[in-house]
Amino acid sequence: MFENLTNKLENIFSKLKKAPSLTEDQVDSGLKEIRQALLEADVALSVAKEFIASIKPKAIGQEIIRSTSPGQMIVKIVYDELVNILGTKSEELNLKAVPPISILLVGLQGSGKTTSAAKLAKFIEKHFKKKVMLVSLDVYRPAAQEQLKMLAEKNSIENLPIVEKQQPIDITKRALNAANLNGSDVIIFDTAGRTQIDLPMMSEIKQVKEITKPVETILVADSLTGQIAVNVAKEFDAAVDLSSIILTRVDGDGRGGAALSMKQVTGKPIKYIGIGEKISDFELFYPDRIANRILGMGDVVSLVEKASQDLDEEKIKKTEDEIKKGIFTMDTYLSQLRQMKKMGGMEGVMSLLPGASKIKTQMDNASIDEKMLIENEAVILSMTRKEKENPKIISGSRRKRISKGSGVDVTKINKLLKQFKMMSDMMKKMSQGKKIPSGAIPDEIMKQLK
């Protein structure tokens, strides 16, 4: 996510941070480079200009230039301004209304509306504990309604039954009745893709809005299209009055121009981002965390949340309880490795950790992640129950046997046992209430990579 911009900014900052003191000229040329990096990231010109105009007086202030670490202070100023243009704080949906509460998703064809409808439904069920019904109003493209129905069925979400040939306005009325009958709190309407200049299609949205009085009319926009997404938002807003944005395909967007310009240009907040094709690849948009990621500071909070979301909660609880009691067996370790795999392997985990973009290239070359996880899994699965509970007994001959069973080299088994020992020592300390120094876990993971 936004790695091109991150790399550029990291280069600029590492120059600034190296200097023990900075002159006004140096700061000025650093700011010019930042402006250029923003423009190359497809940030709107007006936003890039405002960005620099707002940080400049702070960055060349005497107290900054004369401070002991001027480069670091500038990073902080840039961070604050990034948070500011991204929208300052996250904004949840407002679902305090009399049910059924309607939410309307609109946007261009292929922007990710149908996928986002299902993701949002799941999100609302989980975080707001409300019953959601999905409704497709896309009668124009063959199989569009079936696409939503299949997503709903696969993820156990209520879906309004399809009535062939029924038109959007009638479907809308039927949906409201059905929600009253089946006790749905929230109805998400997935509309057909349309362009902003398609007037009859726009008037259809207006009619649906009149009937449903939605709490939100959300534009689903594709992050990869950069400034186009921002302009589409402006025009949709003028036509049908948007309340917020869901930005999709952020996972594949190296630049970040849409995310950075959207709020400033349109005045509408990005509430959620799509970060992959899976139903759980969907997050609340946190300006501070995104700013952290952009500046390559990593995002430990998101990492922790992602881990707990992706996992079977019961399993987490069990692992937590064990760790609290100071129990850390190979089985606990195995379940941790599997968590990592679920989170998209080491690479998925690493991209959220501080300073990760620097070692990412290193990792790409070594392509350790998946392979290492698979090997470690095989090794642990080749251990006996006694060995798993008490790895200390794994002698040389046992290591050879495990190596044969798993097809993994003894040297790698030695390494795994060493890692296990480190982790288990750390867990023991935690269970005794000792504080683990911040950054300890990333360091441990780094060691595993070596």
Chain residues that interact with ligand GDP, rule: CB under 6 A:
107, 109-115, 193, 248-249, 251-252, 274-277, 281
For the chain, how big is the Rg over CA atoms in Å?
Answer: 26
* Apex 257 CA angle, 217 and 196, nearest 5: 40
Q: 248 vs 264, which CB is nearer to Mg ion?
A: 248
Q: Which of 152, 105, 212 minimizes the C-alpha distance to 162?
A: 152
Which of the ranges 20-28, 96-104, 107-115, 267-275 carries the binding residues for Mg ion, by CB under 5 A?
Answer: 107-115
Taking CB within 5 to 8 Å according to partner kind, which of ligand GDP, Mg ion, none is near residue 254?
Answer: none
Return all residues near 29 (Cβ < 8 A) that are at least 6 apart.
none
- Closest approach, Cβ 253 to ligand GDP, in A, equals 9
- Closest approach, Cβ 276 to ligand GDP, in A, equals 5
How many CB atoms lie under 10 A from the CB of residue 102?
24
d(CA 293, CA 300): 10
- Closest approach, Cβ 258 to ligand GDP, in A, equals 12
* Apex 42 CA angle, 362 and 103, nearest 5: 100
Taking CB within 5 to 8 Å according to partner kind, which of ligand GDP, Mg ion, none is near residue 3?
Answer: none
**String marking each residue 213-232 x if it binds Mg ion according to CB under 5 A:** --------------------
Q: How far apart are the first and last CA of the chain?
A: 25
Task: Take residue 168 and report the two structure tokens written for it.
Answer: 């959007």
Please tell me whether residue 184 adopts helix, strand or coil conformation.
Answer: coil
Which of the ranges 70-78, 112-120, 223-231, 395-403 carries the binding residues for Mg ion, by CB under 5 A?
Answer: 112-120
Q: 252 vs 267, which CB is nearer to ligand GDP?
A: 252
Tell whether residue 332 is a contact of Mg ion (CB under 5 A).
no
CB-CB contact of 194 with 144 (8 Å): no
Task: Take residue 374 and report the two structure tokens written for it.
Answer: 């698979």
DSSP class of residue 268? P
- Closest approach, Cβ 335 to Mg ion, in A, equals 37
- Closest approach, Cβ 121 to Mg ion, in A, equals 14
How many CB atoms lie under 10 A from the CB of residue 13?
20
Q: Among all residues, whose Cβ is closest to ligand GDP?
A: 274
Q: 138 vs 387, which CB is nearer to ligand GDP?
A: 138
- Closest approach, Cβ 119 to ligand GDP, in A, equals 8
Task: Take residue 305 and report the two structure tokens written for it.
Answer: 């949340």
Q: 114 vs 261, which CB is nearer to Mg ion?
A: 114
CB-CB contact of 212 with 172 (8 Å): yes
- Closest approach, Cβ 400 to ligand GDP, in A, equals 45
d(CA 342, CA 360): 19
CB-CB contact of 420 with 389 (8 Å): no
Q: 103 vs 383, which CB is nearer to ligand GDP?
A: 103
Total residues in contact with Mg ion, by rule CB under 5 A: 2
Q: 34 vs 134, which CB is nearer to Mg ion?
A: 134
- Closest approach, Cβ 29 to ligand GDP, in A, equals 37
Taking CB within 5 to 8 Å according to partner kind, which of Mg ion, ligand GDP, none is near residue 354?
Answer: none
HSE (CB half, 13 Å, CA atoms) of 269?
16
d(CA 373, CA 359): 18
Q: 251 vs 347, which CB is nearer to ligand GDP?
A: 251
C-alpha to C-alpha distances, 133 to 119, 177, 217, 253, nearest whole angstrom:
12, 12, 16, 31
Please tell me whether residue 136 adopts helix, strand or coil conformation.
Answer: strand
Q: 235 vs 251, which CB is nearer to ligand GDP?
A: 251
- Closest approach, Cβ 350 to ligand GDP, in A, equals 19
d(CA 54, CA 48): 10
Q: Which of residues 113-152 bind Mg ion (CB under 5 A)?
A: 113-114
Taking CB within 5 to 8 Å according to partner kind, which of ligand GDP, Mg ion, none is near residue 326?
Answer: none
Taking CB within 5 to 8 Å according to partner kind, which of Mg ion, ligand GDP, none is near residue 73?
Answer: none
Task: Take residue 380 and report the two structure tokens written for it.
Answer: 């642990």
- Closest approach, Cβ 107 to ligand GDP, in A, equals 6
Q: 6 vs 116, which CB is nearer to ligand GDP?
A: 116
d(CA 42, CA 228): 10
Q: 108 vs 356, which CB is nearer to ligand GDP?
A: 108
Task: Take residue 166 and report the two structure tokens written for it.
Answer: 């029924």
d(CA 171, CA 159): 12
Tell whether residue 172 is a contact of Mg ion (CB under 5 A).
no
Q: 250 vs 330, which CB is nearer to ligand GDP?
A: 250
Q: Which of 46, 29, 19, 30 minimizes the C-alpha distance to 266?
A: 46
- Closest approach, Cβ 242 to ligand GDP, in A, equals 15
| Interface residues toward Mg ion, by CB under 5 A | 113-114
